[in-house]
Structure 1
Amino acid sequence: MQNRMKHFQLTKEEIDTLLQRADIGRFGTVRGDGYPYVTAMHFLYYNGTIYMHGLPKGLKIDNVKDNPKVCFEVDELLGLQPGEGMACDTEAIYNSVVVIGTAHILEDIPYKREVLNRLVEKYTPQFAGKELPENMVKGTAVIELQIKECTGKYHK
């Protein structure tokens, strides 16, 4: 654990709250050549698990299939506290969460539909409650990230 984490650690409740309200997270996978690949993703934190959706083909899907060990990061910049002497003394006021876990592509169609409906509720609530077409559910990849480790920190 980083030294700062000992003094500036978010509680489990604060971590859950940030994961519930954040709109964008950064999803990190490992490419076939060993290099990391990070992409910004809409996501859902539901039942203690992170879900993301997208096209069923592409680099992040290939990466998950080849190596399910992934990470995920969410942060919020709440402001800047200017230093007294110089710009280098300015400090960021923020909350952040880092997740380490394993990911896989959801195959269970009824559960996939449930997750997609919850994503609709989060991002486009005006369409909540409307039936998702079967071909859209089947044609959308849903990545499920099972959390192994989760830490949160803040600076205020």
Structure 2
Amino acid sequence: MQNRMKNHQLNEDQIAEILKAPVGNIATINENGYPYVVPVHFTYYEGKIYIHGLPQGQKISNILSNEKVCFQIYDMKGLILDNSPCGINTEYESIVVTGTATIVEDHELKKIVLNKIVKKYTPHLNGTALPDNAIKGTGVIEVTIKECTGKYYK
């Protein structure tokens, strides 16, 4: 483990706070073995990460072929300036999650997750009933966390 990682690890509470971020990035592996990374909206619920979107597309195809994923959040707080270009650094917090992804088929779980996403991104619509056809027509990815590391610098 790098020295910075040893000395600047985030604890579980700090990681939980970062998991409230508005955007994360999910990396999947395509059919040619190359990583495919896209920014996503998500929610953290019962120890898992849930992502919503279209029920088909490259990330869905990739997950159906290879369940291994990486999920990342990075929050740049600002630059730490110095009188030398080599002395400039960045204040940040970040997490990296490795795990496995599956497509959620359970209607009730999808409904719970989609309501959590509504609450997170559009709180003024929280409590509004979601039509069954919208739940059925929305893709939901569940990421089971195998490992989660977080670090910071300030």
TM-score band, normalised by shorter chain? over 0.9
Aligned-residue offset at 1:3: 2.8
Aligned-residue offset at 1:62: 0.2
3-state DSSP class of the match of 1:151?
strand
3-state DSSP class of the match of 2:135?
helix
| Counterpart amino acid of residue 114 in structure 2 | L
Query: TM (normalized to structure 1)?
Result: 0.96
Residue ranges of structure 2 left out of the alignment (5+ in a row):
none
Match of 1:122 in 2: 120
3-state DSSP class of the match of 1:57?
coil
Quick one: distance in 2 between partners of 1:95 and 1:62?
A: 31
Alignment of 1:102-117 (within 5 A): 102-117=100-115
**How many aligned residue pairs are there?**
154
Aligned-residue offset at 1:126: 1.1
| Counterpart amino acid of residue 7 in structure 1 | N
| Counterpart amino acid of residue 6 in structure 2 | K
Match of 2:153 in 1: 155
3-state DSSP class of the match of 1:103?
strand
Alignment of 1:1-156 (within 5 A): 1-20=1-20, 22-84=21-83, 86-156=84-154
3-state DSSP class of the match of 1:33?
coil
Quick one: distance in 2 between partners of 1:108 and 1:88?
A: 53
Quick one: distance in 1 between partners of 2:4 and 2:90?
A: 14
Residue ranges of structure 1 left out of the alignment (5+ in a row):
none
